[in-house]
Copies of this chain bind each other. A is one copy, B any other.
Amino acid sequence: MTQPDLAVSTVIFALRGTSSENMVLSLPLVRRIRSPFEGTWALPGGPLGDEEDLAQAAGRNLRDTTGLEPRYLEQLYAFGQPDRSPDNRVVSIVYWALVGGDEFAATFDDENVQWFDADDLPTLAFDHALIVEYALWRLRNKLEYSRLAHGFLEPTFTLAQLRKVYEAVLKRRLDPGNFRRTVEASGQVVPTGERLAGTNHRPPQLYRFNTAQGLIDPDPLTIRTALTHPGVAS
């Protein structure tokens, strides 16, 4: 039996939009510059380094190819169908990541790296369309039951901002009152005591994520290095 090639790829999510209104879930793709699928859009990825674990490899490949810094990183699935690459056999261990909405500028100014709306993707290389579909399902599912919009927001935020993140990802309107009730009851979020100024109405309370409370459905290994809060993040 010949040893297959091993690759580590990542589906990166961010919210693009005009300042917390009309936000769209988006992801960066890279154009392949070699055969097979030369010229086709694909997920960022690369090989596994000798001294890296899988999550480190995912983060490094992500940074190297897009210039982005992940705020949340989690393993998605290992894909290994024999025919998923026409040439060598490749087993891809795929991660998914969240980056902040302000990170678009950080993306390499390169025509070979572009952002696409999650609902309007181009034709993708290999089985990457299936992978993205599954990552989207996982993101929405996790947001539903973990009650945490990991990594999309700044260190402090209002509940309205948090709600709009949920609405953009889930593509569904949420009742502000009920949202407040469930999120506050969950304990995932704590008020900072400060208020957001500069609005033309009653200034809302600012909140931050409750770092004391662990995540639901954790990875078996602690990937919490990338999870430390956006403000303190490496």
Contacts and interface: CB of A to CB of B under 8 A. Distances in A.
A134 B3 contact: no
Contacts of A234: 172-175, 178
Interface in A112-146: 130-131, 133-134, 137, 141, 143-145
Contacts of A6: 3-4, 6, 91
5 contacts: A1-B47, A3-B5, A54-B80, A137-B223, A174-B234
Give the number of copies in the complex.
2
Given A134-B223, A137-B223, A81 B53 contact: yes
A233 B172 contact: no
Interface residues of A, number: 58
Contacts of A91: 6, 48, 54, 93
B232 A166 contact: yes
